[in-house]
Amino acid sequence: MKTQPYRPARPVCILQAGSVTGQKEKQGPLGKCFDLSGDDRFGKETWEKAESEMQRLAVGIALRKAGLRTDEIDALFAGDLINQCTASSYGLLSYRIPFLGLFGACSTCAEGLLMAAIGLGCPAGAMERAVAVTSSHFCSAERQFRFPLEYGGQRPPTAQWTVTGSGAFVLSAVKRDIVRLSEEYVPVIEEVMPGCIVDRGVTDANNMGAAMAPSAADTLERYFKGSGHTPDSFDLIATGDLGREGTAILRDLLEVKGIDITKHHVDCGCMIFSETESDTHAGGSGCGCSAVVLAADLLPNLRRGVLRDILFVGTGALMNPLSLNQGQPIPGIAHLIRIRAVPKREFSHKITEEISHADAP
Amino acid sequence: MKTQPYRPARPVCILQAGSVTGQKEKQGPLGKCFDLSGDDRFGKETWEKAESEMQRLAVGIALRKAGLRTDEIDALFAGDLINQCTASSYGLLSYRIPFLGLFGACSTCAEGLLMAAIGLGCPAGAMERAVAVTSSHFCSAERQFRFPLEYGGQRPPTAQWTVTGSGAFVLSAVKRDIVRLSEEYVPVIEEVMPGCIVDRGVTDANNMGAAMAPSAADTLERYFKGSGHTPDSFDLIATGDLGREGTAILRDLLEVKGIDITKHHVDCGCMIFSETESDTHAGGSGCGCSAVVLAADLLPNLRRGVLRDILFVGTGALMNPLSLNQGQPIPGIAHLIRIRAVPKREFSHKITEEISHADAP
């Protein structure tokens, strides 16, 4: 396998993002940052339909912010936690955009951005603009993965709370899209590194953080080795949804390898809910968790230049209830995206250079 | 969206394939072509574990044929029908290769090839070699999507039979891999076109062909319009698993648009089982259906030059049992891959040209 991360051959920019959440997320520390927060039903009669509606809304918001029509988008990269990823297929049915379905469990946000970077990152490549979107819903996830909500099952301290939310991202490699952005900094996908499946024998479905932490450690270790960077090269290393339990395990696993990320590491699962007030035990989880935190908190901070260079590491647990009943462990996966805030001035300069280079005889 | 298909900027070759099936498939018309056929359990205690084992075996066979080690592969594109795609995550756990999970229902074989073509198709691209793999298993699919097998549910004439099988494909853009192939012709992915989700209101889970045919018609119509080709440009137009019911609907839908594919159209779901002897009603289905037919029949015919230019159209139904219970329709999707048998002599010539071009000052 490639030991170095993939660096797109032309700038792939995250133009805009849309974030849609439920009420509990709105009441959390990032509540004010989300574009739209509904009542967990979003006008639909089932939670599954509500989750689809969140995806539809998130994509609509992101496209509107980017000033793009659906027919200007070459591909939708989408996936979710519901069996057969139906939150995506029904939610995005009304958009007539070529659809590429993903399953990366809670790492889907990062997987979608990674695939989009591959598709857009090559001049004369497969596509010019793409949308990556994912979602999760507490109620649809609980009844599918654990217990019917009515059962009122108790949650151990290591359990995480599935975020009700959807994050959508409009990506572009089209120069005029990037040049017309109003912010001072442009979030550009600088590098991506897909993760390997890692199994360390964890079988506790109420401790997903422990199941996913080894894969995050594996991808980060490979990345630092392959890229030559150190944790200090970055303003922030944001994992997707390890929660408090998984965060401690990840830091320990990397410390043993001589890699200290503690100064820069945050976890979206710890950021989205309040440890003292949200009553979510080890923190948030689900595809929607890292997606809405990236969309509503990290990207705006990159656009403002508060963050200049970050690693975003989506984490996922690749199991289902049947596989656990059959005695299988919970393998994890972690996909890494490096996002850099490129000053628009420097960026426009680069574009101009490229144009003149291309025009040269 | 792009109206033209994506054409890789450098040759992406399907080096080798591996096909693993159950007994019913072995007894069908293509039975002698499969690399390995087992007893539906493959030495495991559950059907789900057997399906994972088929994927592991198929990838192993394909890699062995290609003479490549796992550490020479940059990415695995994999997915299946089991909830949360666990046939792939457990089946491929033992391969330490970066893993990109897909969900395209029965179109997953085509989706994996499409993604690999995008990843490999760009010089200095994201990857040099990739494996695409998918699977389905009659027993794991029946109990998940329809009834427990023990129930002995009756099957209407429009019902299809989920293929027990896994097909794996080793793709490469590395010149020395291609040059050392022993066959006279090299199967090259010439163009790809991702499909849009298409919903025509079909709600009968026992008539997947009807649900998927409109999406195949949509993708083929877009392809012929965008590429300028006609059905007569191709030796074969192979859809994934429309079965006899869906095949008739697809031909009708295209005829209305003035496109006549009848002379060249075959369906993998009709090819894999005998209409008179297999007792599978409308034919085969499942991710494994198109994957093993491509691996064991179409690709060998391309390598021998019997087929020179084909369209392979993976078809999928994007639903789950819960969405049907909630009154949702069954949307379909179809991803198109054009595979051309390039004479190795012409191909080597092209490679030489490319090398000298790259070496030019």
Interface of B with A in 47-76 (CB under 8 A): 48-49, 70-75
Conformational region of residue B124, where left means phi above 0, alpha means psi within -120 to 50, and beta covers everything else: left
DSSP string, B205-254: TT-HHHHHHHHHHHHHHHHHHHH---GGG-SEEEESS-HHHHHHHHHHHH
Angle (deg, nearest 10), helices A138-145 and A47-66: 140
Backbone φ, ψ for residue B10 (5° rounding):
-140, 160
pLDDT of residue B349: 59
Does the global pTM surpass 0.90?
yes
pLDDT of residue A111: 98
Higher pLDDT, A123 or A52: A52
| CA-based nearest distance A315→chain B, Å | 13
Is the CB of B111 less than 8 angstroms away from the CB of A102? no
pLDDT tens by residue, B154-186? 899 999 999 999 999 999 999 889 888 989 999
Per DSSP, A227 falls in state H
Tokens 């390995």: give the residue.
Answer: B36
DSSP string, B283-298: -EESHHHHHHHIIIII
Helix (H, G, I), strand (E, B) or coil at B194: coil
pLDDT of residue A348: 67
Q: How far is CA B361 from CA A86, A297, B123, B186, in A?
A: 53, 48, 18, 30
Is the CB of B194 less than 8 angstroms away from the CB of A100? yes
In DSSP terms, A189 is beta-bridged to A339
Mutate to test the interface with A, among B59, B83, B142 (most CBs of A within 10 A): B83
CA distance B279 to B300: 27
Tokens of residue B133, six digits: 């793999």
In our burial notation (b when 16+ CB lie closer than 10 A, e otherwise), range B175-200 reads bebbeebeeebbbbbbbbbbbbbbbb
Residue of A nearest to B5 (CA): A126
Among the partner residues A6, A101, A318, nearest to B89 by beta-carbon distance? A318
Among the partner residues A119, A195, A326, nearest to B118 by beta-carbon distance? A119
Mean pLDDT of chain A, nearest integer: 94
The C-alpha angle with vertex A198 and arms to B19 and A51, in degrees rounded to 5, equals 85
Residue A257 burial (CB count, 10 A): 12
Q: What average pLDDT does this structure show over A334-351? A: 84
Is the CB of B79 less than 8 angstroms away from the CB of A103? yes
pLDDT tens by residue, B277-322? 989 999 999 999 999 999 999 999 999 999 999 999 999 999 999 9
CA distance B158 to B66: 39
Q: Is B220 on the interface with A (CB under 8 A)?
A: no
Q: Is the pLDDT of residue A135 over 70?
A: yes
> Cα–chain-centroid distance for residue B182?
24
The residue type found at B278 is S
Is the CB of A196 less than 8 angstroms away from the CB of B119? no
The C-alpha angle with vertex B228 and arms to B312 and B174, in degrees rounded to 5, equals 50
Long-range contacts of A346-354 (CB under 8 A, 24+ apart): A347/A11, A347/A178, A347/A186, A347/A188, A348/A179, A350/A11, A351/A11, A351/A175, A351/A178, A351/A179, A354/A10
Q: Is A323 on the interface with B (CB under 8 A)?
A: yes
Helix (H, G, I), strand (E, B) or coil at B185: strand
Q: Which of A170, A187, A161 has its CA nearest to residue A18?
A: A170
**Alpha helices in A134-242, H assignment, sequence order:** 138-145, 175-179, 208-227
pLDDT of residue A356: 41
DSSP string, B335-355: EEEEEEEEEHHHHHHHHHHHH
| CA-based nearest distance A351→chain B, Å | 20
Q: Is the pLDDT of residue A352 over 60?
A: no
pLDDT tens by residue, A156-167? 999 999 999 999
Counting one residue from chain A and one from chain B, the pairs whose CB atoms sit within 8 A come to: 193
The residue type found at B1 is M
Mutate to test the interface with B, among A88, A103, A120, A127 (most CBs of B within 10 A): A103
Interface of A with B in 130-169 (CB under 8 A): none
pLDDT tens by residue, A231-290? 999 999 999 999 999 999 999 999 999 999 999 999 999 999 999 988 999 999 999 999
CA distance B85 to B101: 8
Q: Is B121 on the interface with A (CB under 8 A)?
A: yes
Spell out the residues 6+ positions from residue A217 whose beta carbon is closer than 8 angstroms to its own. A250, A253, A254, A257
CA distance B31 to B21: 9
Q: Is B14 exposed, middle or buried (0-12, 13-18, 19+ CB in 10 A)?
A: buried
Residue of A nearest to B78 (CA): A103
For A108-146, give the secondary structure using H, E and C. Answer: HHHHHHHHHHHHHCCCCCCCCEEEEEEEECHHHHHHHHC
* ipTM for this model: 0.95
Mutate to test the interface with B, among A53, A59, A73, A99 (most CBs of B within 10 A): A99
| CA-based nearest distance A51→chain B, Å | 12
CA distance B179 to B167: 24
Residue of A nearest to B131 (CA): A1
CA distance B150 to A59: 43
The residue type found at A219 is T
Mutate to test the interface with B, among A53, A68, A83 (most CBs of B within 10 A): A83
CA dihedral B227, B233, B235, B240 (to 10 degrees): 30
Residue of B nearest to A110 (CA): B100
Using pLDDT thresholds of 50, 70 and 90, give the confidence band for residue A28. Answer: very high
pLDDT of residue A50: 98
- Residues on chain A touching B103 (C-beta within 8 angstroms): 79, 84-85, 101-103
DSSP string, A281-298: TT-EESHHHHHHHIIIII
Q: How far is CA B354 from CA B344, B350, B351, in A?
A: 15, 6, 5
The H-or-E segment that residue A180 falls in is: none
Q: Is the pLDDT of residue A3 over 80?
A: yes
CA dihedral A90, A94, A97, A103 (to 10 degrees): -10
- Residues on chain A touching B318 (C-beta within 8 angstroms): 84-86, 89-90, 101
CA distance B303 to A86: 38
Q: Which of B339, B284, B340, B341 has its CA nearest to residue B315?
A: B284
Q: Is A79 on the interface with B (CB under 8 A)?
A: yes
pLDDT tens by residue, A189-233? 999 999 999 999 999 989 999 999 999 999 999 999 999 999 999
Mutate to test the interface with A, among B56, B72, B84, B114 (most CBs of A within 10 A): B84
Q: What is the mean pLDDT of each run of 10 residues along chain B (361 residues)?
A: 92 97 98 96 97 98 97 98 98 97 98 97 90 98 92 91 98 90 94 98 94 98 97 98 98 98 98 93 97 98 97 97 96 98 78 44 36
Q: Is A173 exposed, middle or buried (0-12, 13-18, 19+ CB in 10 A)?
A: buried
Q: Is B322 on the interface with A (CB under 8 A)?
A: yes
Is the CB of A118 less than 8 angstroms away from the CB of B119? yes
Is the CB of B104 less than 8 angstroms away from the CB of A101? yes
